[in-house]
A and B are shown apart, each in its own frame.
Chain A
Amino acid sequence: MNTKRLMLFVLLALGALFLGACSGQPLTNTWPGLAADGERAYISSGSFVYAVDVETGREVWRYPAEADNKLLFYASPVLTDDGQLLIGSGGATHAFVSLDPETGAENWSGPFMDAKGVWVASPLAVNDTIYAPNTDGFLYVLDMNGRQAADPIELGGALWSAPVTDGELIYVTSLDHHFHILNPSTLALAESIDLGGAVPDSPALGDDGVYVGSFASTIEFVQPDGRRETVGNAENWIWASPAFDGETLYYADLSGIIYSLDLATGRQNWDAVQPDGPVVASLLVDGDQVYVATEAGSFLALDRDGKIVWEKTPGGKIYTTPVRSGELILVAPYQAEFALAAYDADGKQAWTFTPTK
Chain B
Amino acid sequence: MWESLIIQPLTNLLLWIYDVLGHGPHMFGFAIILFTILIKALTWPLNAAQVKGAQAMQEMQNDKEWQDIQKKYAKDREKLAQEQMRIYKEKGINPFASCLPTLIQFPIIIGLYQSIIRALSATPLDMLKLARTVYPFQNVENIIPLNSTFLWMDLGRPESIQVFGFALPTLAIIVALTTWIQTKLTMPASTNPNDQSAAMSKMMGIYMPFLLGWFALNFASGISVYFIVSNILGVVQYAATGRANWSNLFGGKSAPVTRKKK
A residues at B contact (CB < 8 Å): 1, 4-5, 7-8, 11-12, 14-16, 18-19, 22-27, 29-31, 120, 135, 157-158, 160, 175-177, 196-198, 200, 215-217, 236-237, 239, 254, 278, 280, 295, 319
Contacts and interface: CB of A to CB of B under 8 A. Distances in A.
B217 to A, nearest CB: 12
16 contacts: A11-B103, A19-B110, A22-B113, A24-B157, A24-B158, A25-B218, A25-B219, A29-B125, A31-B124, A31-B125, A120-B123, A120-B124, A175-B145, A176-B145, A198-B127, A215-B144
Interface of B: 99, 102-103, 106, 109-110, 113-114, 116-117, 122-125, 127-128, 131-132, 141-142, 144-145, 156-158, 196, 199-200, 203-204, 207, 211, 215, 218-220, 222-223
Contacts of B203: 5, 8
B186 to A, nearest CB: 15
A141 to B, nearest CB: 24
Contact of B142 (A24, A197, A278): A197
B114 A22 contact: yes
B207 A216 contact: no
Contacts, number: 101
Contact of B141 (A12, A16, A27, A216): A216
Contacts of A4: 99, 196, 200
A278 B132 CA distance: 10
B106 A198 contact: no
B57 to A, nearest CB: 10
Contact of A30 (B114, B124, B145, B207): B124
A158 B145 contact: yes
Contact of A19 (B127, B131, B199, B219): B219
A142 B146 CA distance: 30
Given A200-B124, A215-B144, A237-B131, A24 B200 contact: no
B59 to A, nearest CB: 17
A281 to B, nearest CB: 12
A27 B122 contact: yes
Given A158-B145, A198-B144, A22 B124 contact: no
Contacts of A217: 141
A46 to B, nearest CB: 13
B106 A15 contact: yes
Nearest to B199: A1
Contacts of B109: 15
Contact of B200 (A1, A14, A29, A198): A1
A197 B132 CA distance: 16
B48 to A, nearest CB: 21
A12 B103 CA distance: 11
Contacts of B114: 22
Contacts of A14: 106
Contact of B204 (A8, A160, A319): A8
A120 B110 CA distance: 28
A88 to B, nearest CB: 14
A176 B143 CA distance: 9
Contacts of B128: 239, 254, 278, 280, 295, 319
B106 A11 contact: yes
Most chain A beta-carbon contacts within 10 A, residue among B122, B123, B157: B123
Contacts of B218: 23, 25
B200 A196 contact: no
A8 B113 contact: no
Contacts of A26: 122, 157
Contact of A215 (B110, B124, B141, B223): B141
Contact of B220 (A24, A120, A176, A239): A24
A175 B121 CA distance: 11
A19 B199 CA distance: 27
Most chain A beta-carbon contacts within 10 A, residue among B109, B110, B127, B204: B127
Contacts of A215: 141, 144
Given A24-B220, A27-B123, A197-B142, 13 more contacts: A1-B200, A7-B99, A8-B207, A11-B106, A15-B109, A27-B122, A29-B123, A120-B124, A158-B122, A176-B145, A217-B141, A236-B131, A254-B128
A77 B134 CA distance: 32
A275 to B, nearest CB: 17
B92 to A, nearest CB: 20
